[in-house]
Structure 1
Amino acid sequence: MPRRHDIDALRVIAFALLIVYHVGMVYVADWGFHVKSAYLAEWLQWPMIALNRWRMPLLFMISGIALGLARIDRAPLRFAARRCWRLLLPLAFGMFVVVAVQAYCEGLANGRLQPGFWAFLLRYWQLRPWPSGSFTGAEFGITWNQLWYLAYLWLYTMLLVALLPLRTLRTAEWLAGWRWPTWLLLSLPVAWLAMCRLVLAPRFPETHALFGDWTVHAQSLPLFLAGYAIAGNIGFWERIRALRWPVLAIALACITIELTIRAGGRYLPPDAAVPAWVPWAEVERIARAAYTWTALLAIFGWGQVLLDRRFRWLPYCTEAVYPWYILHQSLIVPLAFWLSPVQLGPVLEPALVLGGTVGGCLLLHELVIRRAPLLRPLFGLKRGRATAHCAAERVSHSLDLTKNARLQRSTPARSRVPDACP
């Protein structure tokens, strides 16, 4: 099966947006985060809501698609062992080493910890509960913060491997291959996501604690399994490519409805002439569900058109995604914590936090992590200083260019087709 460059590119773009989103969490008004700046902006809520609705669903679907394209059913037990190594080792290392600085800065910002990082670290490694309000996860004595995605991805992957021998998963693949009517393709996932928001979310708020986080599981696990089921289905991908304009229009309409209702509840006076018989909260949640699914379809449809090509930066960025994901928030939080008292202003401070985060990830990944065989597995990379993936990509790219050049020389000029690869 040919490599899906659009899926690789979407993964890179999604994690890049994750860095921007977490920097925005420092400055968005009325939203909690590990540290907050004095320069808070209410307007940031609107673009961040629009991004929030599909950023994690996209990552879970991409993870499922990647497993479907990898054909893990050929050696599921060996794959499960490798997956445990590549997910649980970075998770454990990240929790005990990388994320610790976030908890320390949050505790200092809350006034619940005394200065002294090494003393904090020795206490943190004991896994004893901290006083209430010390930092996120203090009741467990340790935290995984943004690394919760790795724990959930490991759980879903193990569940997928367990389901591989069962006919239920084959049935799901068959259903994914059926040519669904457009209205069903759009409405059934929206109905499920709406049920999650209407029924589960009020009873089970999102915690990212793995156990008891039923709303997140109900949304993320089906999207992960759906990604696996549709991965190799050419008909499905052709379908959403053809629907990319309509679903984009629907997604824009749905997020407009959600944001309008939110703005009305926030800014309209209590005595405003608003129809009382309309269940505005329910309409907002349904619009949110519809936006999530149609935005995903639009992203995948447009990704095929714009991103399914051999970008020269893609092999390097594909390798860098994992270390950058582990590192980025442990740079954002300390940078924001140290820069906030300096009062640099609402433009320079976030620019330095974002620039310092990107620069720190780049330097640590390029100069330290990828060049140290002992560190590579701790950040989810395969052993070896040169990655076989990057080398294979370069060789394959050269072979494709050579093949295309020979084809063009042997083809009459009037029938030559422009090369789609850069």
Structure 2
Amino acid sequence: MEKDFSSLTRQYDLDWIRVIATLAVFLYHCTMFVNPFPWHIKNNELDSDGILVFSLFVGAWIMPLFFVISGMSVSYALKSRTMSGYVKERFIKLGVPLAFGVLILTPHQIYIERITNGQYDGSFFSFLPHFFDGIYLDIGGSGNFAFFGLHLWYLLVLLVFSLLTLPLFQKVGIKQFKTHHFYILPIFLFLSNIIKTQGLGGWDLIFYLIVFMYGYYFLSSPLFKTALKATIKIHMFIAVVTTIVYIVWFMSGFPKPGTIESWIYFAVRTFSCWSLLLCVFYFADRYLSFSNKFLTYTSEASMPFYVLHQPVIVLIAYFLHDLSWPIYVKLLILAVVSFVIIMLSYHIIIRRFNSLRFLFGMKVQNKVKSDTTFSTFTSK
């Protein structure tokens, strides 16, 4: 999604992580159509087994991963930009697609949620004048204006984090990574459960702020990968054990808030998240530290893909939700059709016009390539 590795030595593994994570978010939101969690549009039949396991697994680490990557990206961006240049870049790369998404890509999602939940019975065009009626705060609420763009909340939060932490980042430089940081961060993340602000994407904003700052201060250190290689077996063991315990515990009965069990559960989930993140960084560094045409193409496409994916999924899901087809058939159709529509929209339209590139947070080019095939997907 956010893309800015302007250091002399480009971290291709981080580009790969971003591309793969964007695809994981896409698949995760496809499963929201059929899993038991509240969402904007739900299928007429829900799944509580295999699909739920996938949703729980991906939801445990996917958004923290984006914030860690974003913190690392800031460390590279500030090496080559002035403070004013950095702030301008943040507003263009994050603020513009956020505003575009709120005004253009959000109304039909709210409308579909309202008509499928029996909260509105008119046409989409009759609904549009009501889009600014009240603030949309949660699924099933009464307000319609989603100022955070629904799934685009990540862009808003990242923009706020980028601006709030800038004075601190300017004053206190990047720190050297030491092995004990592997075990200090989960403690801080666990203690973040004491402070309740706003939960988004499965975690609190304080949780995201901590991993964002950790990404800037420590994971961008050259010593991080060296320490990770030396300790990866420990992290893999913790990841497997805690993730299994977390998923089984959730499916067998979620603990009541405020109990000792709920704190233990949060601790297990926190260690699962952190250890899975470390495994992602390790395997990406080991197997994905290279570039090719596929990465060049998909890395640039990741932000438009992210901005477009949920609006398209919700629209296609609306036409599927009342059909009497098997769950997995619907899910497959939803994923394939949505993916094709998003990629065709990007390849044929968005990347060719500078006005659209600007709206989707892409770098404006003097001359946009005019090839009409997907040959750029094919690497040598």
Aligned to 2:375: none
- Secondary structure in structure 2 of the residue aligned to 1:41: coil
1:331 Cα offset (Å): 0.8
Structure 1 pair 81–131 and aligned structure 2 pair: CA distance change class (3 A): closer
2:82 paired with 1:75: yes
Among residues 191, 196, 200, which one is paired with 1:195 in the alignment? 191
| Aligned-partner Cα distance in 1 for 2:238–2:294 | 32
Aligned to 1:311: 292
Task: List per-residue Cα deviations over 1:287-343 (Å, max 9, x = no partner).
Answer: 111111111111111110011111330011011111111111111111111112232
Among residues 7, 21, 24, which one is paired with 1:17 in the alignment? 24
Among residues 220, 230, 244, which one is paired with 1:256 in the alignment? 244
Structure 1 pair 222–137 and aligned structure 2 pair: CA distance change class (3 A): farther
- The answer as to whether partners of 1:377 and 1:383 remain within 8 angstroms in 2 is yes
Among residues 319, 322, 325, which one is paired with 2:306 in the alignment? 325
Structure 1 pair 387–251 and aligned structure 2 pair: CA distance change class (3 A): farther
1:117 Cα offset (Å): 1.7
| Aligned-partner Cα distance in 2 for 1:283–1:334 | 39
1:39 Cα offset (Å): 2.5
Structure 1 pair 22–153 and aligned structure 2 pair: CA distance change class (3 A): same
Aligned to 1:416: none
Identity of aligned residues (%): 24
- Secondary structure in structure 1 of the residue aligned to 2:120: coil
Q: Once superposed, what is the RMSD of the aligned Cα atoms?
A: 2.7
2:287 paired with 1:294: no
Aligned to 2:4: none
Aligned to 1:241: 229
- Secondary structure in structure 2 of the residue aligned to 1:113: coil
Aligned to 1:363: 344
Aligned to 2:372: none
Structure 1 pair 130–153 and aligned structure 2 pair: CA distance change class (3 A): closer
Aligned to 1:7: 14
Aligned to 1:158: 163
Greater mean alpha carbon deviation, residues 377-386 or residues 348-357: 377-386
1:116 Cα offset (Å): 1.8
Among residues 24, 39, 46, which one is paired with 1:40 in the alignment? 46
2:186 paired with 1:186: no
Relative contact order, higher structure (CA 8 A, sep 6+): 2
Among residues 114, 120, 141, which one is paired with 1:113 in the alignment? 120
Task: List per-residue Cα deviations over 1:202-256 (Å, max 9, x = no partner).
Answer: x545157xxxx9x622111121111122354211121113322321111111112
| Aligned-partner Cα distance in 2 for 1:134–1:47 | 22
Structure 1 pair 229–342 and aligned structure 2 pair: CA distance change class (3 A): same
Residue identity matched to 2:320: L
Where in structure 2 are the equivalents of 1:324-403 lying within 5 Å? 324-384=305-365, 386=367
Residue identity matched to 1:114: D
- The answer as to whether partners of 2:70 and 2:212 remain within 8 angstroms in 1 is yes
Bigger proportion of residues as helix: 1
- The answer as to whether partners of 1:130 and 1:139 remain within 8 angstroms in 2 is yes
**TM-score, scaled to structure 1:** 0.79
1:79 Cα offset (Å): 1.5
- Secondary structure in structure 2 of the residue aligned to 1:343: coil
1:19 Cα offset (Å): 0.4
Aligned to 1:396: none
| Aligned-partner Cα distance in 1 for 2:141–2:363 | 31
- The answer as to whether partners of 2:239 and 2:275 remain within 8 angstroms in 1 is yes
Task: List per-residue Cα deviations over 1:126-145 (Å, max 9, x = no partner).
Answer: x2328999856726465511
Structure 1 pair 322–33 and aligned structure 2 pair: CA distance change class (3 A): same
- Secondary structure in structure 2 of the residue aligned to 1:313: helix
Residue identity matched to 1:38: N
- The answer as to whether partners of 2:78 and 2:86 remain within 8 angstroms in 1 is no
Structure 1 pair 95–155 and aligned structure 2 pair: CA distance change class (3 A): same
2:199 paired with 1:206: yes
Among residues 207, 226, 229, which one is paired with 1:219 in the alignment? 207
Runs of 5+ consecutive residues of structure 2 not aligned to the other structure: 1-7, 370-378
- The answer as to whether partners of 1:241 and 1:304 remain within 8 angstroms in 2 is no
1:196 Cα offset (Å): 2.2
**TM-score, scaled to structure 2:** 0.87
1:260 Cα offset (Å): 3.1
Task: List per-residue Cα deviations over 1:78-117 (Å, max 9, x = no partner).
Answer: 1211211221111111001012111111111111223322
| Aligned-partner Cα distance in 1 for 2:314–2:12 | 33
1:16 Cα offset (Å): 0.4
Q: Which has the larger radius of gyration?
A: 1
- Secondary structure in structure 1 of the residue aligned to 2:290: coil
Task: List per-residue Cα deviations over 1:240-275 (Å, max 9, x = no partner).
Answer: 133223211111111122223334437xxxxxxxxx
Aligned to 2:129: 122
1:73 Cα offset (Å): 6.4
Q: How many residues align?
A: 360
- The answer as to whether partners of 1:370 and 1:385 remain within 8 angstroms in 2 is no
- The answer as to whether partners of 1:372 and 1:385 remain within 8 angstroms in 2 is no
Residue identity matched to 1:206: G
Task: List per-residue Cα deviations over 1:335-377 (Å, max 9, x = no partner).
Answer: 1111122322222211111111101111111111111121111
